[in-house]
Amino acid sequence: MELRDKIIVVTGAASGIGEGLVKRFADEAPKAIVCADIDEAGAARVAATYGGVAMTADIGTEAGVVSLIDRVEAEVGPIDLMCCNAGILLIGGPETPDEDWDRIIDINVKSHIWTARHLVPKMIERGGGYFLNTASAAGLLSQVGSMPYAVTKHAAVAVGEWIAFTYGDQGVRVTLLCPQAVRSKMTEGHEEGVASMDGMLEPADAAEACVEAIRNEKFLALPHDKVLGYAQAKTANYDRWIGGMKKLNRIYGGTGGI
Amino acid sequence: MSDLFDLTGKTVLLTGSSRGIGRAMAEGMAMQGANVVISSRDVATCEATAKKINEMVGAERAHAIPANASRKHEVDALVAATRQRLGDIHILVGNAAVNPHFGTMDSLPDEAFDKIMNVNVKANHWLAQMIGPEMAERGEGSMIFTSSIGAFKPSLEIGAYNISKVALLGLVRNLAAEFGPSGVRANAVCPGLIKTEFAKALYEDPKRAKAAAAMTALKRLGEPEDFRGVGVFLASKASEYMTGQAVTVCGGSNMWS
């Protein structure tokens, strides 16, 4: 899909990859870019910098997701490209308290489900639409040091796959962004972490990979090109992969790994 | 006479309307021909309620537009989506409320107090701010806000809630004064103890329910359906000369107090 004259929404647009997406999309002459974030001032700043429309949104609740979609469709127009980018990271394992699990599941997974629930029918009615969902290489591989991140990103991959093959015939397309470390508030202070082994990329690199994947309607946007090889190696020999991850866990496990 | 209560073609935005009193008001207004917006933060319940109302009236008059009334940006979206789908907003019902605290004021955490005042008072102010001007421009409109008989008395259990409901009466009074010259009315409804999910803690104990019913002149607790007619009355021409009032609907548990 070409982005020219399209209406685009980016959640988590106030910083990091979200801001990078807004900045890069602006070069494609879209009709409008809605910069949505729970951080009102941040969304306003990014929108002002790159010529977008700022909207405050908390995608951690279904009502928040519906409100964002409603407001965009009422005030800007029908959404062509929905970028479910907002996400959080929590360090820890199964001892992570339930309320934290609930929060990361709501934000990293259920927000993608809620968005699909309310936007897919509209897209199908209009003959199609596009989702760019920010998952992570952790969704294809795993995340040393963070079980909640590994689990929710795997789930986000499953959500994206399911939407792609279920609604594809009705014109709904999906690209999943699966990077390793990208410089952002989330990775700040983790520059030496496991996800940066193959280098920490800039948001601009991730955004470039997204624009290219959307243009070619490719399911995966992989700014770190080694990720596909890692995923293939994982499925080729799971035991060997677990062994390799054990090694990484010994080195990076205590820090959350990113 | 029937014209007095006719709401055909009117658009009503109601918050807290997926259950209880708000839902009953939406039902009553839809029965009188209005298009009603069903809104709360519970998306599935909004959709189910809208569907039920449409089945009840045999027409597509109820529209689910979920939003969390405590968040200004979601209230903004609710108003924008209502206008997009249904056009001008003729009647506003601010009914969403919370009561996260049971106990005396000295045990009330700041967070709970902020939440109560934000949803019960400030969110209604936002709605009036967003919708009042368009009503004034047309020279007519009715705003209805759900207060409580709790506004008239102290409570050792739900003091903060009662305080918010007094403040809401203050808001209604001021809106009536500000918008009156433009033909827009504002009134409050003050329910007594009504059998809703919201008030469950106050009547689920059968002894307590019995005692509360005995306190009413009609010798029963209220049902949400008791608010269908009240809502229609305040929304319609029937109450044309009423503004700035607090209408107590309590089976007679409270009389002028």
pLDDT digit string (tens) for B203-244? 899 999 999 999 999 999 999 999 999 999 999 999 999 999
- Is the Cβ pair A70, B80 closer than 8 Å? yes
Residues in chain A within 8 Å Cβ distance of B68: 58, 61, 63-64, 67
Distance CA B67, CA B89 (A): 17
Task: Output phi, psi for A224, to 5 deg.
Answer: -95, 110
Residues 6+ apart with CB under 8 A from A136: A87, A143, A149, A153, A156, A177, A178, A179, A180
- Is the Cβ pair B66, A57 closer than 8 Å? no
- Is the Cβ pair A63, B41 closer than 8 Å? yes
Per-residue confidence at A184, pLDDT binned at 50, 70, 90? confident
Tell me the C-alpha to C-alpha distance, in Å, between residue B60 and each of A242, B52, B165: 56, 10, 34
Distance CA A181, CA A188 (A): 10
The reported pLDDT for the residue numbered A255 is: 56
Instruction: State yes or no: is B161 an active-site residue.
Output: yes
B84 and chain A in contact, CB less than 8 A: yes
Give yes or no for residue A6 having a pLDDT over 80.
yes
Catalytic residue among B145, B152, B161, B233: B161
How many helices (H) and strands (E) in chain B? Answer: 9, 7
Per-residue confidence at A258, pLDDT binned at 50, 70, 90? low
Task: Output phi, psi for B255, to 5 deg.
Answer: -130, 110
Q: Which two tokens stand for residue B158?
A: 């739900």
Residues in chain B within 8 Å Cβ distance of A64: 68, 71, 74
The tens digit of pLDDT for each residue in B107-157 reads 999 999 999 999 999 999 999 999 999 999 999 999 999 999 999 999 999
Active site residues of A: 149
Average pLDDT on A61-88 reads 96
B86: nearest CA in chain A? A74
Distance CA B140, CA B136 (A): 6
Distance CA A162, CA B185 (A): 51
Report yes or no: A152 and A109 within 8 Å, Cβ to Cβ: yes
N residues, chain B:
257
Give yes or no for residue B1 having a pLDDT over 60.
no
Per-residue confidence at A197, pLDDT binned at 50, 70, 90? confident
Give the ranges where B139-245 is alpha helix by DSSP (H). 159-179, 200-203, 206-214, 227-235
Distance CA A132, CA A135 (A): 9
- Is the Cβ pair A74, B74 closer than 8 Å? no
What residues does B35 pair with on adjacent strands?
B11
Average pLDDT on A117-137 reads 97
- Nearest Cα of chain B lies from the Cα of A108 at a distance, in angstroms, of 19
Q: Which two tokens stand for residue A96?
A: 């992570």
The tens digit of pLDDT for each residue in B76-115 reads 999 999 999 999 999 999 999 999 999 999 999 999 999 9
N residues, chain A:
258
- Is the Cβ pair A67, B78 closer than 8 Å? yes
Q: Which two tokens stand for residue B162?
A: 């009662």
Hey, CA dihedral for A212, A216, A221, A223, is it positive or negative?
negative
- Is the Cβ pair B73, A61 closer than 8 Å? no
Predicted TM-score (pTM) of this structure: 0.84
Average pLDDT on B165-170 reads 98
Task: Output phi, psi for A94, to 5 deg.
Answer: -65, -15
Q: Which of B18, B74, B84 to mutate to test the interface with A (most CBs of A within 10 A)?
A: B74
Q: Nearest CB to A66: which of B66, B72, B76? A: B66
Average pLDDT on A241-258 reads 81
B47 and chain A in contact, CB less than 8 A: no
Q: Nearest CB to B74: which of A63, A73, A114? A: A63
B6 and chain A in contact, CB less than 8 A: no
Give yes or no for residue B59 having a pLDDT over 60.
yes
Distance CA B247, CA B244 (A): 10
B232 vs A202, more confident: B232
Burial-class residue A62 by CB neighbours within 10 Å (0-12, 13-18, 19+): buried
Tell me the C-alpha to C-alpha distance, in Å, between residue A83 and each of A107, A131, A201, B41, B82: 14, 6, 19, 23, 25
Distance CA B247, CA B172 (A): 12
B178 and chain A in contact, CB less than 8 A: no
Closest C-alpha to A130, from A34, A218, A54: A218
Average pLDDT on A6-20 reads 97
Residues in chain A within 8 Å Cβ distance of B65: 66, 70
Give yes or no for residue A253 having a pLDDT over 90.
no
Question: Cβ atoms within 10 A of the Cβ of B174, count?
Answer: 14
A69: nearest CA in chain B? B77
Percent of chain A with pLDDT over 90: 86
- Nearest Cα of chain A lies from the Cα of B43 at a distance, in angstroms, of 6
B16 and chain A in contact, CB less than 8 A: no
Using DSSP's 3-state secondary structure scheme, residue B36 falls into strand
One-letter amino acid of B40: S
Q: Which of B45, B70, B71, B130 to mutate to test the interface with A (most CBs of A within 10 A)?
A: B71
Average pLDDT on A227-232 reads 92
Report yes or no: B215 and B255 within 8 Å, Cβ to Cβ: no
What residues does A220 pair with on adjacent strands?
A176
Closest C-alpha to B85, from B124, B48, B126, B50: B50
Q: What is the mean pLDDT of chain A?
A: 94
